[in-house]
Structure 1
């Protein structure tokens, strides 16, 4: 397949040009020379990538297409979306051969090259010598593993609703809870292998219903040099590993599956703790996992929050507790499980060993977004140490009532809630914060509208007063280098992200102004007070000469400059070159900058006061209700 044959849709063009899809639609209407579709449908037209690149260059909007991105588009053009997973897996197979025998393809003619393919292309995928060479070239340039990871990430992003990959931080937490490093690990619903790769296993076993995903998982394990087997099939109906007992089982199963096999599996020996009701497929997965772990081994499984309290499952929950199999319930933040928008739970289970005495308590943790809390609480619970705030040890006998409700919010105070013991301290902090609010506001008086001469950031950049830089689109998600994220910017907090120190990152210095790329999306422009972190995605950094432009004045003007943005749906894409600022002497800028700074501090203080007041009120209601607080 030649480069000219590669097509892209509107979403692809938006990603290549780093704009929203609405901008692409607008370009098609406004510009007569915008390329005409070469395929697709009326609702989803396809355009020639070569034509689109030429148009973007003519209009000064071109962003250099990364080799992996170009390869991804060629793979997409080689087949339809139904077989795209097969195309990605086949590219992975070719990249594995490039890793094993680099350079062997370079001097071969087309026929010889196609004759040396490690296996025949899958049905429905158009593979020619040009595509094979493109895969090999990107593999040698980027590294075979990095190239495959790049196209695999794009495939998962495109089919995120179907593949439901576990977020990497959650996968790493599940591995820590299970102690998977160096162990034999089984995942009976492995998807593309996210949990198995995070486990650090020396031997990995996986089964996945989707054949393309199973093949991708196997290739990912080979690139990671992990020994193991991944099989396609239905784990509940057709177990690929009968009799296999792993050291640890990790699993993020499909949620709310009514067709999991209730009728044909009624008498299955795996249901040691009770026949799972038709609507409780997750309890079938729990028992399947327990049947595949060695006595004394752990199971870490993702569960929907509703599974902790649904009435049909209370008998099995009670049996798990009585046997000592359920050891912890850890509640995460909403959206932590791709299969659910609610707050999911992690259940940690231990298969009882012969002669074990049933434990008397179970760990419950309200972790939310603080995944580190879950690991600390589990370690403290296992070692008999004091548990951190946000976690608690609950007696099993107290859970064995008519409902067998394992909802952590009913049993454990979250870290954000002070409980009755901290009520007085939070009240004092709230009162002190409210008393200081008035001092934050600048004294402003009404006046007539002033017509000031204006300039733009583009003009200031050309004059050398400012330099404008955008954060990278993608960053490594492992490393020790702090990253300022959009949420950090919104909350005015220290950088919370982490990445590796690689080329292309933007270092933040004190006095820099950082603004969101999408205006109205939550974050606001701020002046940085510290140095050393790097700029995260969807952020802009504007570095000004402080002798000619006050940073706080600049940040305030950017905050007020929403009208100069280009509207994209319900948000505004910020064009820094068009943002307007009044022409003022630097001394006058500093006076205005101080007022802008104090307004932002007042906004931050009001947000803190609101959050603190919600915490205080909730603690007051709970304490009065359960008797841990009383009236003076």
Structure 2
């Protein structure tokens, strides 16, 4: 048996695969090929490990290959060793093996390997694939050599590295993990609860709840995880990510959460959850606003967001997805949702619903590859009696560290914020508790400087957001053009008369 692989060795090994591909395909596409190969190698090595254990018990090859001795079935000709022996049309061999494994495990693995273009020899010539397969063949990824948590951490490392390498396009599949940890701490997931992420990316927020329970030695296998992701390849990575963390019963759906929510109850209504963690895409414009205006699931209870910003569509979807008794949510947004004029009516309805428990303002750089400051909004379906009719505002803009061009939250930052959240009291220049009447008196603005003395307006309500400014300019220009056209039409009809 080979010796257990250290975390540093694993990280170096995984990143070495990306180096094989560098210069041949775009960095943003690495994940489509490396993640599936890591997963295929893992399940092949674990199959061999399970086979060896069964042989010790039964001493018979046929008995050792029985399905009950293996977590996943690997059909003949689809093992890693079979792929390694291929010398031509390697991409086609890989693809056939992956599809056969998916078919052989219909309850757990359909579509898990994604939709990489394995047969494209211009993209991935046989020589490159052979090098990649040989690279992965140098390590045995069995559970004995690499326990699930360690491999899961390695996977997270690779996700982060791909995000670094591919630039701003990585936002869809990577959220700052120290911020995810903070959001998890604030919601305190419990054994047996359901956890949902409507825009789950690679599943990091879902996994964070399991990791937190493990950290405290609590039962984590009873947690039910649900996620939906629009990008097919990314949703496949999320499923692999859950499996590699030892989570075998997670539910990851592919599709558009706003247009076709995947999780419905027996009555065809939205399923509700105990915990919701989310980092929705920022101000998307290509969404079906007309359908949302007459949403069959009742998600437009506060109103219909403008076409240029779907933020409050996700906001309302999450609110509607909360269990009415136990539901709580932590949502990562840009500050604009707190004060933008075009969403004022919806924000008023949100405040009046008394769902908001906390508005947490954070420092710059915690959105991936963006200088914007982040805000986390905490919703709670049933607040404690002492929190009803109140909102806690936290100005944590200075609780952030930056090293090597990366922003993150230290443990001390997280503990200070969580402590203030649980105390739910005024702390000079850090937190303020505001009654709903006070918020109404400020025209339902949730901008943190309106409530926390000493918070700089530039951190929120006076912050210049280029996307916001351009959108406002375009809207004003469109209104002006329409008015001019109407006047010209009127003048023209008068002349004709």
Give the TM bin, normalised by the shorter chain. 0.5 to 0.7
- Unpaired runs of 5+ residues, structure 2, are 1-10, 52-78, 101-112, 119-123, 211-219, 265-269, 400-412, 458-497
Asked whether the 8 Å contact 1:167–1:337 carries over to 2, the reply is yes
Residue 337 in structure 1 maps to residue 357 in structure 2: no
Residues 82 and 348 (structure 1 numbering): CA distance in 2 closer, same or farther, change over 3 Å? Answer: closer
Distance 1:99 1:167 in 2: 31
Partner of 2:379: 349
Deviation string, structure 1 residues 346-379 (Cα, Å, up to 9, x no partner)? 11112359x9999221100001223333211221
Partner of 1:286: 315
Distance 2:305 2:392 in 1: 24
From 164, 181, 185, the equivalent of 1:176 is 185
Residue 237 in structure 1 maps to residue 259 in structure 2: yes
Distance 1:240 1:322 in 2: 29
Partner of 1:131: 132
Partner-residue secondary structure (3-state), 2:30: helix
Distance 2:152 2:456 in 1: 41
Distance 2:250 2:131 in 1: 33
Higher RCO structure, 1 or 2 (CA under 8 Å, sep 6+): 2
Partner of 1:548: none
Distance 1:328 1:375 in 2: 11
Partner of 1:48: none
Partner of 1:221: 242
Partner of 1:194: 204
From 262, 278, 289, the equivalent of 2:289 is 262
Equivalenced residues, count:
349
Residues 147 and 333 (structure 1 numbering): CA distance in 2 closer, same or farther, change over 3 Å? Answer: closer
Residues 139 and 216 (structure 1 numbering): CA distance in 2 closer, same or farther, change over 3 Å? Answer: farther
Partner of 1:312: 342
Partner of 1:299: 329
Residues 343 and 234 (structure 1 numbering): CA distance in 2 closer, same or farther, change over 3 Å? Answer: same
Residue 393 in structure 1 maps to residue 403 in structure 2: no
Asked whether the 8 Å contact 1:205–1:230 carries over to 2, the reply is yes
Greater strand fraction, Structure 1 or Structure 2: 1
Deviation string, structure 1 residues 170-189 (Cα, Å, up to 9, x no partner)? 00011111222433111111
- Unpaired runs of 5+ residues, structure 1, are 1-64, 418-632
Distance 1:106 1:92 in 2: 10
Partner-residue secondary structure (3-state), 2:364: coil
From 358, 381, 400, the equivalent of 1:328 is 358
Residues 344 and 157 (structure 1 numbering): CA distance in 2 closer, same or farther, change over 3 Å? Answer: same
Give the RMSD, CA atoms, in angstroms: 3.4
Partner of 1:207: 228
Distance 1:82 1:338 in 2: 14
Partner of 2:17: 71
Distance 1:251 1:225 in 2: 22
- TM-score, with normalisation over the residues of structure 1? 0.50
Asked whether the 8 Å contact 1:190–1:208 carries over to 2, the reply is yes
Residues 240 and 77 (structure 1 numbering): CA distance in 2 closer, same or farther, change over 3 Å? Answer: farther
Residues 102 and 386 (structure 1 numbering): CA distance in 2 closer, same or farther, change over 3 Å? Answer: farther
Partner of 1:554: none
Greater helix fraction, Structure 1 or Structure 2: 2
Residues 107 and 350 (structure 1 numbering): CA distance in 2 closer, same or farther, change over 3 Å? Answer: closer
- Residue 205 of structure 1, CA deviation: 0.9
Partner-residue secondary structure (3-state), 2:274: strand
Residues 82 and 363 (structure 1 numbering): CA distance in 2 closer, same or farther, change over 3 Å? Answer: closer
- TM-score, with normalisation over the residues of structure 2? 0.62
Matches within 5 A, 1:476-625: none
